[in-house]
Each structure stands twice: as C-alpha cells, then as structure tokens.
Structure 1
Amino acid sequence: MKIAVDAMGGDYAPEAIVKGVELARASFPDIEFLLFGDPEAIKKHLSDEKNISIIKTTELIDFHDEPLKAIRKKKDSSLVRAVKAVKDGEAQAVLSAGSTGALLAAGLFIVGRIKQIERPALMNTLPTADGLGFDMMDLGANAENKAEHLLDFAILGSYYAENVRNINKPRVALLSNGAEESKGSPLVKEAHELLSNEVSINFVGNIESRDILAGGMADVVVTDGFTGNAVLKAIEGTASVLMKQIKDGIMNGGLGTKIGGALVKKELSKLRNTMSTDSAGGAPIFGLKAPVVKTHGNSSPEAIFSTIKQIHKMLETDVVGKLVEHFEKNAEEKH
C-alpha cells in the first residue's frame, strides 16, 4: 500500500504529521509513505526513512487561500502534489490536515468523482454515549443538496460502515426535526421516500438531532451539507464548553468540590476520551475514485495515526472499488 501525505498541511505540520506517520509505520509495515513537503523540515522529526519517501515541494496552500484558485496556481504545493500522486497511480490514497476547501477542490478536479455520484460528501465517524459511534454525511462539502444526493450519501455511508467499521446491515437514518415520516422540509420528505424504496440499504426512518449522540438508533445519519456542518459545529462547541465548565466548576469550588473532582477524575477522563475524535480517524471525501481523507488541522500524532489506520482499512477492504462497482451496475440496470 502507498499513501501520499501532505506533510506541510495543518496547524502543527510537519512535526505532528511526521510523528503520526512514524507511529503508523510501526503498526503497518505494509504501508509505504510518500511525504510531500520541505525535506529539511520533515527530516528534523524523522528518526529514519524506512518505508518513507520524501518528495520536495516548493509551495504551501494555507487556510486563507481561495481553494480553487490555490490548486490551479500552486501546483507545486504539498497538498496538490500529494493528490496528484493518487491521480498518477503513484499512491492509492491521500491524507491531509490542510485546507478542507483546497482538498475538496483537488479531490474533485484531480482525482475525480465516481460516475453517477453527482456530489461527493464529507463524512466522519462521530462519538456516541454507548461508545460505538455513527457515520454522518454530508458535513459540509456541499452547501445545498437534492434528495437524490441524500440517497447517494446513504449508500456511500452504508458501504463505509459495513466495510471499514465491520457493521452488518448498518442502520441508516435521515436527520429531521421529528421522527415521524410526515415531519421535515420538502427536501427531507422527498429524501425519505427515496430512502424507503432503496433495497440496498437498511433505512430505519427519521432521527432527531437530540438523539444522534445517545447511540443505539443509527449507524449512518444522512443530511444536507449545510445542516450537517451546523450540527457538527454545535456538537464540537457543546462538548468544548461542557468540559471547560466542569473543569472550572471543580477548580473554582471549595475543598469539598476539589475532593469530589479528584474522586471522579478517572470518569471525567473517560468522558473526555468519549467526546474526542482522535481515535475516530479523519473525514473521507466519499464519492471520489480513491480515498481522499481530511484530518483536523490541529490533529495530534495520535489522530494522524488513527487516520492512517482508517485509510489502511479502506484500502484493505477496497471499499471505493466496491462503490464503483455498485454505481456502475445501477447505471447499467437503468439503461
């Protein structure tokens, strides 16, 4: 397996990226890593170059660059070169902690989408109280969607949950403002009808946002990109504020509060780990011809390791190849 890595993308690049690659190399000796970026900066954090090739690049796309313009003008950037390595067959997947917009644009225009998939989506595995998590898409690749896109997301998410997360007959739910079939916007109602009639998925109906983190109701949740991004940021913000409020309450309380805090410290650490996305991996731009995976800009080495583990599983199960086969077969049947 060969994975192209944008070594210069992200808040803590290249250090966190390189350290994460080294963690993964120890666990996955069958992976060869192509690190794109500044060789001197990369080598500072690299113990040795076993299973690692360093490819020099001279440009960097940052978060202030306009995505489409950046991938067209900065062709020697670490992000564009890493994505192009997949297009040229030099690697089978790409990982970046850099600009989400630039990676989306590069994935679409360089790697290309699977035929019959009009709108690839950004997907992530989010944590739940029962520890099992769920896959949600779209998380912001598209500002607007049609009902047909949500049907595609359901199929994409089902394949991912089954192949990468080993879930048999994953339950697919549609995000709405009520569990009843009659609830929702015109888009949601139209999508509900399409999902109900799709035999290749295990559709379980609507789900409300208040229920998605509890777990036990759905393995895949689909929604339009605007709503998905808003829900994701609300979850992240709530988790951050909640943990800060608990910590401040303990630190600013009296002696009894501090003693109580010490007694529940282990359980609070478990809660923090449950809410953390470090172990979940990155967010694949699903619907492209190859795995293109975005990890958070402030990813730690452990989060980079988890994302590489996720990509390894995607390549091992050939989940993208299976999706190509599914949609090609559907296209033939329609004709």
Structure 2
Amino acid sequence: MIKIAVDAMGGDYAPAEIVKGVEEARDRYPELTFLLFGIEDQVVPLIQNQERINFVATTEVIAMGDEPVKAMRDKQDSSMVRAAQAVKDGEADALFSAGNTGALLSSAIFIVGRIKGVDRPALATAIPAVDAKNGHNQFIFMDLGANAESKPAHLYQYGILGSFYASHMLGYDNPTVRLLNNGAEEDKGDEVHKEAHQLMKQSSDFNFLGNVEARELLEGTADVVVADGFSGNAALKSMEGTALVILGQLKKAIMNGGLRGKLGALMLKPALKKLKGQLDFNNQGGAVVLGVNAPVVKTHGSAKATAVANTMGQIKMMVEQNLVPDTAAFIAENKDKLKVKKSAN
C-alpha cells in the first residue's frame, strides 16, 4: 500500500474539498491509504468513510499569506509541517498540499530534505500541448516558482532533471529541451539566460533545441521547457488565466447567441468538451518538487475535489515508478554532469 500524508487545511477550499478529494481518490485507487492532518473539529465531521484514512489532529494552520520559512519554523504543529515530518520519519511515502506554495517548498527542502547533488530543487508540472508536432500531448515546465532567481548552472541542471522526469514518468525517448527566453536567438535575454543557453547548447547531457518564447509554449515545441522561477511562475499563471478567459467568453457568447447559439453549442458539445479538457490544467495533476527525498506535490490553491483526486493518482504513479529512488541513483551516477563550469562564451 502507498501512504500519502495530506495537508487537509491547505487551499482556498480546505478542508471540505481536500477531504472530498481524498475520499474520491480512496475509492478510485485501492492501492492508496492516507494520513490526514488537520484541525479535528473542522476535518473529522467531513469524513464520510474512514476506510484507509487515518486522521491526525493538529492545532495550527499555515495560511496562504504567511511568510513561508517563518511559518514552517514557527508553526511546528501545523498540518503542513506535521505531514512533511511524517514523510521524513518514514510514516508516509509522499506529501500532498494545496496550501502555501513557499511554505510547502520550505518543508520539502528543509524537512523532507534535498537529494544529494541537487543544488536547487525545482517546481515542475506537466502542461497540455495543443497539436504538438512531435505527437506528445504534454510537456514538462520548470521551475514554476521554487527559486525566483537562478544561476546559469541551475537552469542547466533543470534541463537534466526535467529530461529525466519526462523520460521516466511520461515515457518520452530522448526528450527535447528548450529555454524560456524573450527571443528565439541565442544572444537574447539577460546575462544569466545567455550563459545558460551556451551551457545547454554545448552539452551532450540532453537534447537542447534552443530558446522558446512564451507565445509558443502551448504549441508543444519541446518535451521540457526550462525557466527561472519568476518567469516560469508568471508564464504559467498567464496561460491559466488566458484559458479561463477563453472558456468564459466562449460560454458567454453561446448564452448570448439565442436559440441558434444554443443549438450550435449542442452540436459542438463533444468538441467543446475536448477543448475544455485540454485547457484545464487541473487534469494534468499537481506540480512536483523535483530534487527532494520523497514525492512532494502541490496542487493549485483553488483546486476542487476532482483535481485533488487526480493529483493523488499522479502521486501513486510517481511512487510505483520509483521516481525518487531512480532520480537519486541517476544523480549519483551523473554527479559530474550536474557540476558545470562557467561558459567560455
């Protein structure tokens, strides 16, 4: 059985949607059991069926607005910190939260711990690709905010980690890698991105295809897109916001189109449902903290029960495919590749 430690108090709709999602996942995946951490009088009444769910009472909550590192250190009896500690102590195989991203990253790095050889763990997620020429319907995007600032060597390391994740979890053979920049030419961007480009270009450790602009991301021009945390987070939120606006405006246009519009929508319902599925990032699961000693997964703060359950399925796959042990072994075997010298360019 796979045991997942769950921060039941994290997220905009916690604990109700978190508990509901856990029960949905429990019913969907018989291989999963859960350690549910939270405030007793808020969580326990929500549990409909305690089968394969063990509740652990805590007294504190890390709020979305809390300063991440301070909250992790000061709120030792919070649902998030206790869940992270359970993973460190071997009481659970993985950690899940929809709460404060910075606090979860801090808990992942300082409590669960970094894999030896990884300088900067990164936040990565699978993004849907529309009509990708390589036939792959999603790509790995990282870093999404674990590190606001990155050195060229860190971006280079993300290329290696991202390639390993894409091949290990998505089954991509020799995955392609691009660097998010403000232009396709290799002399574009600031000094960090120029040097990172040269490091990646000169490397034989992954299949680097050059820079990519934000407008091309969803076209699936690469299997892995590497970014500094600030740019990656901004790009991700821009894509999510654009997708929501498009779907909202499409629905508004249909509703304002009278009977003809509604009849047309009825005829197009299968195609519209497919489009909605492609643009709904919740269908892809959560964001993974790559480079730590256990699966740590963060789903969107506004995630509802279905997104929570989908993310539990993602965690199940990560554990079953030995992602973390295999990543640690890969890094140990390739430690020289992860240490790069400054580009001569």
Q: TM-score range by the shorter chain?
A: over 0.9
- Partner-residue secondary structure (3-state), 2:297: strand
CA distance in 1, matches of 2:24, 2:12: 19
What's 1:184 paired with?
Answer: 189
What's 2:111 paired with?
Answer: 110
CA distance in 2, matches of 1:230, 1:160: 22
Deviation at 1:113, TM superposition (A): 1.5
> Would the aligned equivalents of 2:23 and 2:49 in 1 still touch at CA under 8 Å?
no
Cα root mean square deviation, aligned = 1.9
What's 2:58 paired with?
Answer: 57
CA distance in 1, matches of 2:336, 2:142: 26
Show structure 2 runs of 5+ residues with no match: 340-345
What's 2:164 paired with?
Answer: 159
Deviation at 1:146, TM superposition (A): 0.7
- Partner residue of 1:293 out of 285, 291, 297: 297
% same residue: 51
What's 1:97 paired with?
Answer: 98
CA distance in 1, matches of 2:31, 2:162: 27
**Matched residue type, 2:324:** V
- String of CA shifts for 1:28-69, please: whole Å, max 9, x gaps: 322221111133433333232222211111111111211111
- String of CA shifts for 1:190-222, please: whole Å, max 9, x gaps: 11222233333222222222221022x211100
> Would the aligned equivalents of 1:38 and 1:58 in 2 still touch at CA under 8 Å?
yes
- String of CA shifts for 1:266-313, please: whole Å, max 9, x gaps: 322221111002221111111112111111112121111111111111
What's 2:308 paired with?
Answer: 304
Give TM-score, length-normalised by structure 1: 0.93
- Partner-residue secondary structure (3-state), 2:317: helix
Superposition map of 1:221-236 within 5 A: 221-236=225-240
Superposition map of 1:119-130 within 5 A: 119-130=120-131
Q: Determine if the alignment matches structure 1 residue 148 to structure 2 residue 157.
A: no
Higher alpha-carbon deviation: 98-107 or 160-169: 160-169
Q: Determine if the alignment matches structure 1 residue 283 to structure 2 residue 284.
A: no
CA distance in 2, matches of 1:140, 1:328: 25
CA distance in 2, matches of 1:198, 1:44: 55
> Would the aligned equivalents of 1:21 and 1:305 in 2 still touch at CA under 8 Å?
yes
- Partner-residue secondary structure (3-state), 2:184: coil
- Partner-residue secondary structure (3-state), 1:122: strand
Deviation at 1:249, TM superposition (A): 2.1
- Partner-residue secondary structure (3-state), 1:34: strand
Higher alpha-carbon deviation: 90-99 or 197-206: 197-206
- Partner-residue secondary structure (3-state), 2:281: coil
> Would the aligned equivalents of 1:159 and 1:319 in 2 still touch at CA under 8 Å?
no
What's 2:15 paired with?
Answer: 14
CA distance in 2, matches of 1:127, 1:48: 34
Instruction: Specify whether residues 260 and 48 from structure 1 end up closer, same or farther in structure 2 by C-alpha distance, changes over 3 A only.
Output: closer
- String of CA shifts for 1:53-103, please: whole Å, max 9, x gaps: 111111111112111111111111101100111111111210001111111
Instruction: Specify whether residues 256 and 29 from structure 1 end up closer, same or farther in structure 2 by C-alpha distance, changes over 3 A only.
Output: closer
Show structure 1 runs of 5+ residues with no match: none
Higher alpha-carbon deviation: 17-26 or 94-103: 17-26
- Partner residue of 1:195 out of 200, 211, 236: 200
CA distance in 1, matches of 2:92, 2:202: 38
What's 1:34 paired with?
Answer: 35
